[in-house]
Structure 1
């Protein structure tokens, strides 16, 4: 029997409704996802493709606030305590209420780690320290566009985990797992950090090709698209999301 692939799956808090987002979370967990990366909707994202950006906009139209997103995360944590939760958002949402305050609130909601792509690992406004104080990890994001010197600096910075965006640009379009991709991951691993790898992962073939080189495969836009396509039926949404999770974890064979 082939070993199950570790999957980190992306979910936009409150999309398309809190109830359907909860159904999607259950489907992801039932499909074998080990980590839920839950995004707090933001109006001006720098890395999200059309699917995730559109989902965020729909949630924000309802007047969704940070407190609503944290309440949703707490509900997920209480329902699935065995699953790690990483909060993904952007710097201004974390910085505006005060980073220490935000991290304390996130931790009390059940968050295990923070992914804030626009806060650089070496100028993070105190995010790493605030995460440690609250029993969480800060997971910096690395991209192939980084200079060799900066990549080496990040690799040697002592982060337990690093999120490797496997190509430049935005999420949601297909990524080819090439020798160049694997080389990028290996450079990040040199300092001992465990790597989460994603950006454009949508098939079991991609997931299998990547899985031997990373701690977990990250998939996001593929699930958001399935949620959008099946939003009119809770049962259809659950089944579509679960089936895709089973495919990406290699558990559908």
Structure 2
């Protein structure tokens, strides 16, 4: 059983959902990123979704765009991302780790090499947000050949044919988008229609659904789980916390200015969001 499947089974037995933070590798440096990621895991995150810095992150809003740029200004590379992932996998052997990359990285490295390298580094699942499910076949084939679970997006108010394709191609989990647009807590999440998405995917035998895009409050988390999602992914809101404690002026590398403050705020936020996943019906 995969790490994500095992996690969802354990949480269901306890009547909980999953809280999954999104953070950027190498932001603002590889060493700092590892310290930040370790903080959120130790605070109670159930799994991780991690980004690999990229120069054209078309699915991301301003907060996560900034994390890409900071990391790149600090010298981020794909090889450095792989090094950090190896450290995290050794540190947390049972923790599910999902990755958000962009398709250009896969093309440049070659699909087989791309998935093989990230699998060897300990990644469980990969989402390429700029690859629509209608173009999924070669990515899914390369992912599964290398032991990676491919994840696809169930768009807001998707047509039945799209949900069917997402269910057929996704493994591990499905990333349901709560609204149109890019990532960011400026546009608040909604669970309107999420129950229909979850039920539609179940009709086609798809994997569990997690809700993302705009998840920033405990109520968003509890509403998502009540609507049938197995968990919620928070990106921009948690990256906004990180940004508060980084001194940065493009194109100079950034630096964390107050580690105690950053760790305290991250820990409190993760604990609050995780608490919202509890007391669900088993």
- Do they fold alike, i.e. is TM over 0.5? yes
- Counterpart of 1:122 in 2: which secondary structure? helix
Q: 1:94 aligns with which of 103, 106, 129?
A: 106
Aligned counterparts, 1:159-178, within 5 A = 159-173=171-185, 174-178=187-191
CA contact (8 A) 2:45 2:274 kept: yes
Post-superposition offset of 1:148? 3.4
**TM-score under structure 2 length normalisation:** 0.83
Post-superposition offset of 1:119? 1.6
User: Is 1:239 matched up with 2:251?
Assistant: no
Alignment partner, residue 31 of structure 1 = 43
User: Is 1:20 matched up with 2:35?
Assistant: no
Post-superposition offset of 1:251? 6.8
- Counterpart of 2:79 in 1: which secondary structure? helix
Could you list the per-position Cα deviations for residues 138-191 of structure 1 after superposition, in whole angstroms to 9, with x for gaps in the alignment?
A: 001121153333223333456442111111101113434344233233323322
**TM-score under structure 1 length normalisation:** 0.91
CA contact (8 A) 2:126 2:151 kept: yes
Determine the C-alpha separation between the residues in 2 that align with 1:191 and 1:18.
Answer: 41
Determine the C-alpha separation between the residues in 1 that align with 2:50 and 2:268.
Answer: 19
Alignment partner, residue 275 of structure 2 = 250
Post-superposition offset of 1:125? 5.7
| Structure 1 alignment gaps of length 5 or more | none
| Structure 2 alignment gaps of length 5 or more | 1-13, 247-256
Change (3 A) 1:125 1:182: closer
Post-superposition offset of 1:19? 2.4
Post-superposition offset of 1:219? 0.6
Alignment partner, residue 230 of structure 1 = 245
- Counterpart of 2:133 in 1: which secondary structure? coil
- Counterpart of 1:135 in 2: which secondary structure? coil
Determine the C-alpha separation between the residues in 2 that align with 1:38 and 1:114.
Answer: 9
Determine the C-alpha separation between the residues in 2 that align with 1:157 and 1:133.
Answer: 14
